[in-house]
Amino acid sequence: MDEKTKELVGIAASIAGHCQPCFIYHLKEAEKLKIPLEDIREAIEFAKAISQSGDKNMVEFAERRLKKR
């Protein structure tokens, strides 16, 4: 995997994982590599979609489990 892809994955993972220090680190590395802001924003939007889907699915899962009690 090339360095640009690694940093974009790092940015997305830090967003999905809610890790602010990780985001700062990977954003700085992306800036060093001169990754376009548009690509960084796309990675963030991708991570937001994954995170929101996971959050929604987790809430639905919890509700189903509570109904079984």
pLDDT tens, residue by residue, 15-69 = 988 999 999 999 999 999 999 999 999 999 999 998 887 778 888 888 999 998 7
Burial letters 22-59, b for 16+ CB under 10 A, else e = ebeebbebbeeeebeeeebeebbebbeeeeeeeeeeee
End-to-end CA distance of the chain: 46
pLDDT for the residue 48: 92
Task: Specify the number of domains making up the chain.
Answer: 1
Q: How many degrees, rounded to 5, is the angle at CA 24 between CA 33 and CA 28? A: 20
pLDDT for the residue 15: 93
pLDDT for the residue 54: 76
Question: Containing domain of residue 59, as a range?
Answer: 3-67
